[in-house]
Amino acid sequence: MSALLRAEHVGRTLSGAVPVTLVDDVSLEIDRGEFVAIMGPSGSGKSSLLYLLGLLDIPTAGRIALDGEDTSEFDEDRLADVRLEKLGFVFQFHFLLPEFSALDNVVLPMIRLGRLRRDAAAERGRTLLADLGLAEHAHKRPDQLSGGQRQRVAIARALANDPLVILADEPTGNLDTASSATVRQILRELVDKQDKTVIAVTHDASFAAAADRRIGLVDGRIDPSWTPPVLAPRPGA
């Protein structure tokens, strides 16, 4: 079975008087239903790699294939369509629209994609929020929610269009211990129960312990010899 997501000799260099290489000759494969944690020292290019895998940035070398399609030939419109249809994003800072309710933040990607009527999108949004324990908070604005609740809204938004892959950049980096554990459990269950693929950048050893595989990135390159922090046993393992 072919990989769901494949990077082949991918690099990203910022041009300038002194070029800066963020990602250097990275090749990897990630399968459907896999939970992968990208780890490494600060400044090692982890987020840059995640943005490349999520088609938020364009490599200056190599190519990325998603769901059997080579994305290197896609124009900006096609890239935007693929991101909306097949990818969901969760960031350390949730980036919810502050003037909209939790429900409206979740519904917006569905309206943009245009597959559902507004009433059907709202019903799906309410279901997603309820599944994440937020039914009674659907009509609250982000500033009326706790940090953990806002991150759960962000996860619901990422799931709105039923993506193949969830990409998360330090999803627990701004949360307390209890909220971090909740987010970790939610992402783990998306893999185990819904066969989603989750790729997450993290410094959190407890979060990384929940993943199926950990990739060490050092100076923009995959380093098989890199040793992660001491990992707690995976719950239920």
Tell me if 129 is assigned to some domain.
Answer: yes
Higher pLDDT, 176 or 92: 176
Q: What are phi and psi of 127, to 5 degrees?
A: -65, -45
CATH number, domain containing residue 113: 3.40.50.300
**Residue 233's pLDDT is what?**
54
Higher pLDDT, 206 or 38: 38
Tell me if 165 is assigned to some domain.
Answer: yes
**Residue 125's pLDDT is what?**
95
Tell me if 183 is assigned to some domain.
Answer: yes
For the segment 85-103, the average pLDDT, to the nearest whole number, is 89
**Residue 180's pLDDT is what?**
87
**Residue 234's pLDDT is what?**
54
Higher pLDDT, 110 or 176: 110
Tell me if 168 is assigned to some domain.
Answer: yes
Tell me if 231 is assigned to some domain.
Answer: no
What domain range is 105 assigned to?
5-222
Tell me if 74 is assigned to some domain.
Answer: yes
Number of domains in the chain: 1
Tell me if 26 is assigned to some domain.
Answer: yes
pLDDT exceeds 80 at position 2? no
Mean pLDDT of the chain, nearest integer: 89
Tell me if 233 is assigned to some domain.
Answer: no
Q: Which residues contact 130 (CB under 8 A, 6 or more apart)?
A: none
For the segment 186-212, the average pLDDT, to the nearest whole number, is 91
CA distances from 105 to 44, 109, 193 (A): 32, 8, 24
